[in-house]
Structure 1
Amino acid sequence: AYILAPEGLKVGMKVMSGASAEVRPGNCLPLSEIPVGTMVHNVELHAGKGGQLVRAAGNGAQLMAKEGKYATLRLPSGEMR
């Protein structure tokens, strides 16, 4: 398996996955556990389906809001989704 390497991730750094992981480059968390304003990439539209948004090198989306089970992202195109 592989992960998309975000800016700031260096060889030898540990990456963690799950709701209890720290918010750090390379870690994988549910959007519900990430603070508003954080830059994210490789976002799943539906849990378990795999990353579908913001996968291209150098791109990131900003988490703008969270309400219930939904989150709003500002995509690199400027679209709010």
Structure 2
Amino acid sequence: MTLMPSIHDLFEQLGLENTDNGIDRFIERHKGLENSVKLEHAPFWNPSQAQFIQRALAEDAEWAEVIDQLNTRLR
């Protein structure tokens, strides 16, 4: 059985602080993303982060579910 990645795993993959406090601070700082903006086009990602998110969503990769959760929390 393969475990699905967690929000902590996603933040680590993106090179961001992946502690509970670090994740909460990131979400608080960037919360309010307009619904018309796709998550991978959000202005706070660097190019490699945006590419990772775009590719993971396009491939419906194992990361897609946790990316969708982050997307919801950022709206």
TM-score (norm 2): 0.30
Task: Tell which structure's C-alpha radius of gyration is larger.
Answer: 1
TM-score (norm 1): 0.29
State the structure with bigger RCO (CA 8 A, min sep 6), 1 or 2: 2
**Larger % of helix: which?**
2
